[in-house]
Structure 1
Amino acid sequence: METQSLRKRKWFWPWQDEEEEAWLGEMAQAGWHLSRVDLLGSYTFRQGEPIRVVYRLDYMPANKGDFQDYLQMFQDAGWEYVGEMSNWRYWRKQAAAGEQIEIFTDAESKVRKYRRLLGFLGLLFVVLLMLGMNLFFNTGTAGERFSGIGLFFRLIQAIYLVLYLVYIYVMVRLALRISQLKKKVV
């Protein structure tokens, strides 16, 4: 008998990892178990027995030497490594009804997870800023500004600006999430 698979697209922002975990758990209870996750919210599931599975996400940049220790630590605690998407690690563990299973047992650990992500995004922000400077300050000659090439260039600038504003929004929301978790620590 061939196992069926299902591909779904669903978007989650980086600070919505708990909502993503809950959704993946609901899918498992419906008999669809995560087998792969790709960029832009593309999830692949395989059909199986409906069971209660807890999914947890961790943001951990890849470091080949440390990754094996990281992987072993979670596996020793009974977690199954499902995969990764853009440094987000997906873990799952079967759970009894009502049982709460966490990979982060305190708010400070969650703060560190979001700080790792914010640090990476901050570095990328600087790179995008440098690229953007070239894009916005290299305006071309007066004749090029109103030609087909100039109009296309303006469209690219507008798209870049919108994406840049979304990027800033994501960083602010992550900083607010960190602040919210820090209040739980105190």
Structure 2
Amino acid sequence: MKTSRFKPFRFVRMDAHAAWLAGMARQGWHYLGQNAWGLQRFEQAAPADMAFTWDLAPRKEEELLAYCQRCREAGWELAGTAGRWHCWRQPVVAGQAVLPLRDREGKRAMLRELQGRFGSSIMLGVVVLFLCLPRLSRPDGPGWFFPAYFIGMLAFMGIMVPNKLHAMSRLRQLDANGPG
């Protein structure tokens, strides 16, 4: 039997989402991936103790192939994707630690890349908002497009700014824990 649950993957909740997927596996629901609208697909089978992790994959195809190969060699199986984010799973064996996909420096590099991406998106959003302002204050009215676009950009900024702050916070946590 297959089922779907609505729980979109978000970067700011990747650890909680991985824990939720592990809980679903313990209940006998094995993760098959998600669609573009955030519906998580599962297939019912025997309960299993699985570890899940989300990771940002490289952009270039040759780097992506090497990345996937490294993950498989480390014992991880690709469970699904959400854009460049890859969800990996691995059976949990009693008495053995599950090794993370990235070391501390790898996590720092990923968070720096995300910071840059969110920062660029925020700057673009600010520029577009300022370009819309003169249109919104025209005496003959702005029409329907610019108010709708303005509201959409404000919503977009409402998503991007917390993501940028979360990436910064995670970087500070990694730095506070010291080297290693």
- TM-score when normalising by structure 1: 0.83
Q: Which runs of 5+ in 1 are unaligned?
A: none
Q: Counterparts of 1:35 and 1:170 in 2: how far apart (Å)?
A: 26
SS in 2 for 1:179: helix
- Amino acid in the other structure paired with 1:59: L
Correspondence list, 1:118-133, <5 A: 118-133=115-130
Deviations 1:134-172 (A, max 9, x none): 323333630225xxx35x643542342233133112211
- Structure 2 counterpart of 1:88, from 61, 85, 88: 85
Worse-matched range after superposition: 95-104 or 54-63: 95-104
Q: Counterparts of 1:122 and 1:10 in 2: how far apart (Å)?
A: 26
Correspondence list, 1:59-138, <5 A: 59-97=56-94, 99-104=96-101, 106-138=103-135
Corresponding position: 1:157 with 2:150: yes
**Conservation of the 8 A alpha-carbon contact between 2:22 and 2:50:** yes
Q: Which runs of 5+ in 2 are unaligned?
A: none
Corresponding position: 1:169 with 2:166: no
Q: Counterparts of 2:12 and 2:138 in 1: how far apart (Å)?
A: 43
Q: Counterparts of 1:154 and 1:105 in 2: how far apart (Å)?
A: 43
Q: Counterparts of 2:175 and 2:162 in 1: how far apart (Å)?
A: 20
Q: Counterparts of 1:9 and 1:68 in 2: how far apart (Å)?
A: 30
Q: Counterparts of 1:52 and 1:119 in 2: how far apart (Å)?
A: 36
**Conservation of the 8 A alpha-carbon contact between 1:35 and 1:45:** yes
SS in 2 for 1:143: coil
- Amino acid in the other structure paired with 1:157: F
- Structure 2 counterpart of 1:9, from 6, 15, 29: 6
Residues paired across the two proteins, number = 179
Q: CA RMSD, aligned part only?
A: 2.3
Detail structure 1 runs of 4+ shifted over 4 Å in the superposition. none
**Conservation of the 8 A alpha-carbon contact between 1:108 and 1:185:** no
Corresponding position: 1:21 with 2:14: no
Deviations 1:39-96 (A, max 9, x none): 4532111111111111111112421111111111111111111221121111111112
Corresponding position: 1:180 with 2:177: no
Distance change >3 Å, CA 104–CA 185, structure 1 → 2: farther
The percent of aligned pairs where both chains have the same amino acid is 23
Corresponding position: 1:144 with 2:166: no
**Conservation of the 8 A alpha-carbon contact between 1:37 and 1:84:** yes
Worse-matched range after superposition: 96-105 or 20-29: 96-105
- Amino acid in the other structure paired with 1:176: S
SS in 2 for 1:54: strand
